[in-house]
């Protein structure tokens, strides 16, 4: 992905690789606690992030203890331009 990419669903990479290039943008939409789109990897799938995450908090829950998971920690790497 090399441009601005907004999506409302979650993405699972189960084979191959998802690559967010330097200059690319992924927009995450945050809702109630635990309610957001995310990127996960499974099996031989992997993700490489070297662009920017844009996080939309306009609909985020404001109560204490709310949590969100944007990216699963399995088979994920971050490049030097990640922000």
What confidence score (pLDDT) does residue 21 get? Answer: 92
What confidence score (pLDDT) does residue 52 get? Answer: 92
Which DSSP letter does residue 73 get?
S
What confidence score (pLDDT) does residue 50 get? Answer: 94
What confidence score (pLDDT) does residue 81 get? Answer: 92
What confidence score (pLDDT) does residue 7 get? Answer: 66
The pTM for the full model equals 0.80
pLDDT per 10-residue tile (average), the chain, 83 residues: 75 89 88 82 89 89 84 87 91
For 32, 63, 66, the CA distances from 53, given in Å and listed in that order, are 19, 23, 19
């Amino acid at each position: 992905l090399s441009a601005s990419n907004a999506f409302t669903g979650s993405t699972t990479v189960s084979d191959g690789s998802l690559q967010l290039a330097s200059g690319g943008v992924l927009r995450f939409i945050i809702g109630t606690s635990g309610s957001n789109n995310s990127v996960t990897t499974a099996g031989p799938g992997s993700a490489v992030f070297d662009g920017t995450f844009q996080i939309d908090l306009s609909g985020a829950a404001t109560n204490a203890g709310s949590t969100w998971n944007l990216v699963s920690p399995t088979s994920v790497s971050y490049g030097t331009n990640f922000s």
